[in-house]
C-alpha cells in the first residue's frame, strides 16, 4: 500500500538537498537571474559533491540522471521507495532554492532522464557521466511531439539526422543532446526514436540562446542538424519500428520526466509560500490552521487555500514517482501530477506576489522571480492543455485519434 509520507530512508537526502538549496543556491539566485546566459561556476563544486554522494549509493540515484524503473518487481506484499521517489523529493527541495540553477546542474539534464528511460544496459554504462540536454520541440511542433519532422536516415553503420530543434534546455552547456527524430514519416508515431548526439559532432550547430521571462540562469538553445552523422549504436533502445506499440517507447521518457517537472513546480511554490507566510506574519496577519478559513482574514484564508492546493500537487507528484519505483503503469498519474503541479505553481507564486503587494512585485524579495520561473513549468514537458487531454483519453479509454 502506498504511503505518501517521506520515507525514512530518504529523510537524510531530503535534508541534505534542502541545506544545499538554502546555503548554495538561494544566495546566488538573483545574481544569475540578472546575468542571463552566464554559467553559474558555483555549480561545478555542487555537482562534484553530488557525484561523490551518488557513488556511495546513499542517494538511491537521486536527480534527473538517476531516474530509471527497477528491472525487477518488488517481492510479494512489499513496496519499493527507490530512485524515482528520491529524485522528486530532492528536486523539489533544490527548486526551493532555485529552479533555474537546478536545471543548470551538470549531468542532471532532462536528456539524462531520457537515457535512463529507454537506453539498454550497454548504453547506460557507455553514457555514464555524460550531461545530456533533450531536444524535442521544433519551430512548427510544440506539445504534439508525435508530429516532429526531424529525420534520421540509416546509412550503413550510421544515421544521418536533419532538422531543427528549439527551446533545448542546457542545449549550449551540455556535452550531448538526446534528439527525437523520425525514421519514417509514413509510419507515424511508431517510427520516432531518440538518439544521443555529441555536441562536437559535425553537423550539429547551436544557432542561438533564447532570452526568456524566467529560469534565466538556465541556457535555452536553438540547435540545427545538417547531415549530422550519428553511429547506429547511439540510437537509444531498440531500432525496430513496432507499429503495434505506437508511441509507447518514446512516451516512457515522459512518464519519468513529468513527475520531475511536477517536483520543480512543487519546490518553487513551496518557496513562495514559506516566504509569504513570514512576510504576512511580520505584517500582523495571523494564519491559524486550527480555525475555519471563513473566520480568518481574507489574506489568511487565501493562504490556506493556496497551501491546500499545493499539498494536492505534492501528493500527486509522490504517487506518480512511487508507481514508477514499483513498476506500475503511471502515464495517467504522471500527466495528472504535471497538470496539477504546473497550474498550482503558477497560481501559488502569482497569488503570493499579490498577497505581499509592493514587496511581492519588487526585487527586494524573490517572489517576483519565482512567479516568472514557475510559468515554464506549466508549459514544457507538455502543456497544461496537453496533460488534460492525455488524462481525458486515459480516463475515457479513447485513443489519440478518437479524442484530439
Q: What is the pLDDT of residue 54?
A: 59
Q: What is the mean pLDDT of the chain?
A: 90
Q: What is the pLDDT of residue 249?
A: 56
Q: What is the pLDDT of residue 317?
A: 97
CA distance 67 to 3: 20
Mean pLDDT of 103-131: 90
Mean pLDDT of 263-277: 98
* CATH, range 248-396: 1.20.140.10
Q: Where in the chain is the domain with CATH 1.20.140.10?
A: 248-396
Mean pLDDT of 33-52: 87
Position 69 pLDDT exceeds 90: no
| More confident of the two residues 44 and 158 | 158
Q: What is the pLDDT of residue 269?
A: 98
Residues catalogued as catalytic: 381
Position 61 pLDDT exceeds 80: no
What percent of the chain clears pLDDT 90, i.e. is strictly above it? Answer: 72
Position 74 pLDDT exceeds 80: no
Q: What is the pLDDT of residue 71?
A: 53
Position 44 pLDDT exceeds 80: yes
* CATH, range 8-123: 1.10.540
- Write phi, then psi, for 169 (nearest 5 degrees): -65, 130
Q: What is the pLDDT of residue 153?
A: 97
Mean pLDDT of 217-240: 95
Torsion of Cα atoms, 320 then 326 then 330 then 333, to 10°: -30
CA distance 147 to 137: 10
Mean pLDDT of 383-394: 94
Q: Which residues pair with 134 in a beta bridge?
A: 178
| More confident of the two residues 128 and 249 | 128
CA distance 196 to 254: 17
Mean pLDDT of 368-391: 95
pLDDT digits over 298-357, tens only?
999 999 999 999 999 999 999 999 999 998 999 999 999 999 999 999 999 999 999 999
Q: What radius of gyration do the chain's Cα atoms show?
A: 21
Q: What is the 3-state secondary structure (H, E, C) of the chain?
A: CCCCCCCHHHHHHHHHHHHHHHHHHHHHHHHHHHCCCCCCCHHHHHHHHHHHHHHCCCCCCCCHHHCCCCCCCCCCCCCCCCHHHHHHHHHHHHHHHCHHHHHCCCCCCHHHHHHHHHCCHHHHHHCCCCCEEEECCECCECCCHHHCCCEEEEECCEEEEEEEEEEEECCCCCCEEEEEEECCHHHHHHHEEEEEEECCCCCEEEEEECCCCCCCCCCEEEEEEEEEEEEHHHECCCCCCCCCCCCHHHHHHHHHHHHHHHHHHHHHHHHHHHHHHHHHHHCCCCCCCCCCHHHCCHHHHHHHHHHHHHHHHHHHHHHHHHHHHCCCCCHHHHHHHHHHHHHHHHHHHHHHHHHCHHHHHCCCCCHHHHHHHHHHCCCCCCCHHHHHHHHHHHHHCCCCCCCC
Q: What is the pLDDT of residue 359?
A: 96
Mean pLDDT of 148-169: 97
CA distance 338 to 378: 8
Assign domain 130-234 to a CATH class. mainly beta
Position 255 pLDDT exceeds 70: yes
Q: Where in the chain is the domain with CATH 2.40.110.10?
A: 130-234
Mean pLDDT of 158-173: 97
Position 60 pLDDT exceeds 60: no
Inter-residue contact 213 to 375 (CB < 8 Å)? yes
Mean pLDDT of 245-255: 67
How crowded is residue 157: how many other Cβ atoms within 10 Å of its Cβ? 9
Q: Confidence band (pLDDT; 50, 70, 90) for 292?
A: very high
Q: Where in the chain is the domain with CATH 1.10.540?
A: 8-123
Q: Confidence band (pLDDT; 50, 70, 90) for 83?
A: confident
Mean pLDDT of 37-63: 71
Position 251 pLDDT exceeds 80: no
Amino acid at each position: 500500500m502506498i504511503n505518501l509520507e517521506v520515507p525514512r530512508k530518504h529523510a537524510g537526502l531530503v535534508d541534505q538537498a534542502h541545506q544545499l538549496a538554502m546555503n548554495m543556491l538561494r544566495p546566488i539566485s538573483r545574481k544569475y537571474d540578472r546575468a542571463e546566459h552566464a554559467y553559474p561556476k558555483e555549480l561545478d563544486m555542487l555537482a562534484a559533491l553530488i557525484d561523490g554522494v551518488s557513488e556511495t549509493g546513499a542517494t538511491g540515484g537521486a536527480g534527473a540522471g538517476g531516474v530509471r524503473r527497477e528491472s525487477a518487481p518488488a517481492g510479494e506484499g512489499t513496496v519499493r521507495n527507490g530512485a524515482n521517489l528520491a529524485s522528486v523529493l530532492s528536486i523539489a527541495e533544490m527548486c526551493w532554492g532555485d529552479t533555474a540553477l537546478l536545471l543548470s546542474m551538470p549531468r542532471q539534464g532532462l536528456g539524462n532522464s531520457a537515457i535512463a528511460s529507454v537506453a539498454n544496459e550497454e548504453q547506460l554504462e557507455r553514457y555514464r557521466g555524460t550531461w545530456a540536454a533533450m531536444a524535442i520541440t521544433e519551430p512548427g511542433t510544440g506539445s504534439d511531439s508525435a508530429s516532429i519532422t526531424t529525420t534520421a536516415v540509416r546509412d550503413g553503420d550510421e544515421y544521418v539526422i536533419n532538422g531543427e530543434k528549439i527551446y533545448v534546455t542546457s542545449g549550449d552547456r551540455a556535452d550531448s543532446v538526446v534528439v527525437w527524430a523520425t525514421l519514417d514519416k509514413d509510419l507515424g508515431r511508431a517510427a520516432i526514436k531518440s538518439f544521443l548526439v555529441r555536441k562536437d559532432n559535425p553537423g550539429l550547430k547551436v544557432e542561438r540562446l533564447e532570452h526568456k521571462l524566467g529560469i534565466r540562469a538556465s541556457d535555452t538553445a536553438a540547435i540545427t542538424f545538417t547531415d549530422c552523422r550519428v553511429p547506429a549504436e547511439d540510437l537509444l533502445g531498440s531500432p525496430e519500428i513496432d507499429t503495434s506499440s505506437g508511441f509507447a517507447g518514446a512516451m516512457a521518457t515522459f512518464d519519468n520526466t513529468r513527475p520531475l517537472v511536477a517536483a520543480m513546480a512543487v519546490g518553487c511554490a513551496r518557496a513562495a509560500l514559506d516566504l509569504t507566510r513570514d512576510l504576512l506574519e511580520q505584517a500582523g496577519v495571523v494564519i491559524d490552521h486550527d480555525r475555519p478559513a471563513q473566520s480568518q482574514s481574507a489574506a489568511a484564508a487565501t493562504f490556506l487555500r493556496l497551501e491546500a492546493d499545493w499539498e494536492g500537487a505534492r501528493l500527486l507528484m509522490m504517487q506518480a514517482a512511487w508507481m514508477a519505483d514499483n513498476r506500475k503503469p503511471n502515464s495517467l498519474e504522471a500527466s495528472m501530477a504535471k497538470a496539477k503541479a504546473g497550474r498550482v505553481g503558477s497560481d501559488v507564486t502569482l497569488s503570493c506576489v499579490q498577497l505581499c503587494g509592493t514587496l511581492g512585485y519588487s526585487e527586494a524579495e524573490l517572489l517576483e522571480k519565482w512567479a516568472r520561473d514557475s510559468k515554464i513549468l506549466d508549459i514544457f514537458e507538455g502543456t497544461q492543455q496537453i496533460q488534460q487531454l492525455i488524462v481525458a483519453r486515459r480516463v475515457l479509454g479513447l485513443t489519440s485519434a478518437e479524442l484530439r
